[in-house]
């Protein structure tokens, strides 16, 4: 059930970044006719005015409530986890809690956040009120940060080491997100570098888990088939799918930008730490080169299909074994389209721009976002026909209207909006420190980034539309439903439940193999075919939260 909250939470999260981020606040438009997807955005576009403060304050309240419900109802502190989750969705839940804390702490100087925190403090006026609100924020941050660090010990790291490569990389991104939050909160609220925020003491164990799982996952890069690309799992017939390759791009560039190095030598020493740069991070060029090459392969793979969106992945025609590899080409495309396959690459593209200054990466991201919006029917908010990835301007996976989403599917929309938020969020102080060390940035990164955020501001109405659609599904307990836009306990016979699948989609995409499997070909105890996923309410709450974060 927590995964259901993830998507709406993430939508609100994007809104928070757009309307309350220090650099982004001036970029958001007032309500007006829907923005045309065919409009051209000049690099000198005027910034648009901020929405009404009352709306933004309500967004914070909705975000806070979604977070409270997910953690109060689904997180067990004594176990250090969300018991109804599965390994990879738990990693995503942890990621989104950390990202939400980043959004909240970055908004701490905003009077709107202060008004939100007044619920916890009476008489919040004047200097005393500011102090009290700061204390309330710190208490809120520490409360949920403690949950995430409890999850460090509750996460089944040993089982995850034997799972598919995509499962491993959710772990990588999750703990890198936590490290980013630690650094951000300390930068913003603890000015003495000699006395940082106490939470930064967990950077070392988080970095260790990141390094171990990245090194394991990177073994999935394979050049014997399709001249490159990540395979999904070593336990199944070769399948080079979008999510694993997008995760590899985003994980690799995040390792380059944010990984602080690892001095823990268990179970093996790090092999590519490099020397510390001027901003006290190693920034190993290996990670950067890997990210560039991985994205080049993905972009050239022709994995996009309907509306220019990423399909699920490629099989190799005729493959039977390593000795009978068939064509060795990625020549059978599973055309099924999922929301999360359009999202994960967005954070990677922002990171590639940050590392190289190449604006084409941002252009690719904006093109993908516009394609997703079109596939929801936007800007037509009245047409209830299925448009490929939604209807009436609302994002939707094909399982939503049928009510048969697995826990995996319940998490997808939240993942999309989380990475969308990362794509459009402001520059953080530690990223500015990095940019000061980069030759390309000396010529004016702010112009390039300002143009990027102006383009992001044009998505605001679509994000708000989806956030309101997610909020409409809440029940009296604050729990969200999966099919956004359908009010809780309100049945409308005029609504269409049809969500036709694209031609060439497959419901069963892989079969177990014995070759190459660790432990003499035995399946890991947590292994299961991805086409037989369990349904759990945990995922729905998490999906909702991620979507709300997007707002």
| pLDDT tens string 435-478 | 999 999 888 899 999 999 999 999 999 999 999 999 999 999 99
Residue 534 in tokens? 């369990």
Q: Are 339 and 470 in contact (CB under 8 A)?
A: no
Q: What are phi and psi of 550, to 5 degrees?
A: -65, -30
Query: Per DSSP, what are the bridge partners of residue 394?
Result: 391
Q: Are 440 and 537 in contact (CB under 8 A)?
A: no
Here the contacts of 119-124 (C-beta below 8 Å, separation 24 or greater) are none
390 neighbors 306 (Cβ within 8 angstroms): no
**Bridge partners of 230?**
221
Task: Supply the pLDDT for residue 59.
Answer: 84
Is pTM beyond 0.75 here?
Answer: yes
For residue 117, count other CB atoms closer than 10 A to its CB. Answer: 23
Which 8-state DSSP code applies to residue 396? -
Q: How many CB atoms lie within 10 A of CB 101?
A: 26
CA distance 432 to 454: 19
What does DSSP assign to residue 331? Answer: E
Q: For 333, how many CA atoms within 13 A lie in the half-sphere containing its CB?
A: 15
Confidence of residue 491 (pLDDT cuts 50, 70, 90): low
Helix (H) or strand (E) holding 313: strand 313-316
The token duo for 514 is 């014995």
Range in 226-235, 418-427, 521-530 with the lowest mean pLDDT? 521-530
Bridge partners for 81 per DSSP? 76
Q: For 123-147, what is each residue's pLDDT tens digit?
A: 445 454 556 677 888 999 999 999 9
- The predicted-structure confidence for 368-399, as pLDDT tens digits, reads as follows 999 999 999 999 999 999 999 999 999 999 99
pLDDT in tens, 196-244: 999 999 999 999 999 999 999 999 999 999 999 999 999 999 999 999 9
Rounded to 10°, the helix 539-550/53-74 angle is 160
- DSSP letters, 476-536, are TTSPPPSSTT--TT---TTS----PPPTT--S----B--TT-HHHHPPPTT---TTSPPP-
What is the per-residue DSSP string for 143-198?
A: HHHHHHHHHHHHS-HHHHTTS-HHHHHHHHHHHHHHHHHHHHHHHHH---TTS--G
Q: Which two tokens stand for residue 336?
A: 């099924």
What CA–CA distance (Å, rounded) separates 5 from 417?
A: 12
Which ranges of 21-164 does DSSP label H, i.e. alpha helix? Answer: 53-74, 87-106, 111-117, 126-154, 157-160
Say if residue 110 is exposed, middle or buried (CB neighbours under 10 Å; 0-12, 13-18, 19+): buried
- CA–CA separation, 509 vs 314, rounded Å? 9
Whether the Cβ atoms of residue 233 and residue 160 lie closer than 8 Å to each other: no
Lowest mean pLDDT among 331-345, 376-390, 498-512: 498-512
Q: What is the pLDDT of residue 409?
A: 94
Task: Give the whole-angstrom CA distance, residue 115 versus residue 289.
Answer: 45
Q: Measure CA of the first residue to CA of the last residue in the chain; give whole Å.
A: 21
35-49, 101-115, 336-350, 407-421 — which is least confidently predicted? 35-49
Residue 308: CB atoms within 10 A of its CB come to 14
- pLDDT tens track for 29-87: 333 334 456 555 454 444 444 455 677 778 888 888 999 999 999 999 999 999 999 99
**3-class DSSP state of 394:** strand
Alpha-carbon span 61 to 274, nearest angstrom: 44
Are 319 and 237 spatial neighbours (Cβ–Cβ below 8 Å)?
Answer: yes
pLDDT in tens, 251-267: 999 999 999 999 898 77
């Amino acid at each position: 059930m927590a995964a259901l909250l993830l998507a709406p939470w993430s939508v609100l999260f994007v809104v928070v970044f757009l309307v309350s981020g220090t650099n982004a606040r001036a970029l958001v438009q007032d309500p007006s006719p829907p923005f045309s997807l065919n409009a051209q955005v000049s690099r000198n576009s005027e910034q648009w005015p901020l929405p009404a403060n009352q709306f933004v304050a309500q967004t914070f309240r909705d975000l806070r409530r979604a977070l409270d419900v997910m953690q109060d109802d689904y997180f067990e502190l004594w176990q250090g986890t969300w018991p109804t989750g599965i390994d990879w969705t738990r990693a995503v839940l942890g990621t989104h809690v950390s990202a939400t804390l980043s959004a909240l702490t970055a908004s701490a100087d905003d009077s709107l956040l202060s008004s939100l925190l007044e619920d916890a403090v009476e008489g919040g006026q004047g200097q005393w009120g500011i102090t009290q609100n700061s204390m309330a924020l710190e208490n809120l941050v520490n409360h949920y940060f403690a949950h995430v660090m409890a999850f460090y010990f509750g996460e089944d790291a040993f089982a995850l080491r034997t799972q598919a490569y995509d499962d491993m990389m959710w772990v990588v991104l999750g703990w890198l997100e936590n490290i980013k939050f630690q650094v951000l909160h300390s930068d913003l609220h603890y000015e003495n570098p000699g006395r940082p925020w106490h939470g930064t003491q967990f950077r070392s164990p988080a970095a260790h888990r990141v390094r171990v799982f990245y090194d394991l996952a990177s073994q999935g890069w394979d050049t014997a088939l399709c001249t490159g690309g990540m395979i999904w799992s070593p336990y199944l017939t070769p399948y080079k799918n979008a999510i694993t390759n997008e995760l590899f791009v985003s994980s690799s560039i995040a390792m380059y930008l944010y990984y602080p190095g690892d001095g823990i030598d268990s179970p093996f020493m790090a092999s590519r730490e490099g020397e510390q740069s001027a901003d006290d991070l190693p920034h190993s060029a290996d990670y950067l080169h890997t990210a560039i090459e991985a994205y080049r392969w993905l972009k050239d793979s022709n994995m996009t299909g309907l509306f220019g969106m990423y399909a699920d992945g490629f099989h190799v025609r005729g493959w039977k074994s390593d000795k009978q590899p068939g064509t060795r080409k990625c020549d059978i495309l599973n055309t099924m389209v999922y929301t999360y396959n359009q999202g994960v690459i967005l954070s990677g593209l922002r990171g590639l721009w940050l590392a190289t200054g190449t604006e084409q990466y941002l252009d690719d991201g904006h093109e993908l976002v516009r394609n997703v919006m079109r596939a929801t029917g936007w800007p037509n908010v009245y047409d209830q026909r299925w448009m490929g990835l939604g209807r009436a301007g609302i994002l939707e996976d094909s399982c939503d209207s049928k009510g048969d989403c697995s826990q995996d599917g319940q998490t997808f929309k939240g993942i999309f909006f989380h990475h969308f938020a990362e794509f459009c969020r402001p520059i953080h102080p530690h990223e500015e420190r990095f940019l000061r060390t980069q030759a390309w940035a000396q010529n004016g990164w702010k112009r390039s980034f300002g143009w990027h955020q102006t383009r992001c501001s044009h998505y605001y109405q679509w994000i708000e539309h989806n956030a309101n659609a997610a909020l409409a599904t809440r029940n009296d307990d604050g729990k969200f439903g999966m099919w956004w836009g359908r009010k809780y306990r309100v049945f409308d016979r005029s609504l269409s439940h049809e969500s036709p699948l694209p031609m060439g989609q497959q419901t069963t995409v892989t079969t177990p193999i014995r070759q190459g499997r660790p432990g003499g070909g035995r399946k890991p105890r947590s292994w299961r075919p991805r086409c037989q996923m369990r349904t759990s309410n945990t995922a729905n709450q998490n999906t909702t939260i991620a979507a709300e974060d997007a707002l």
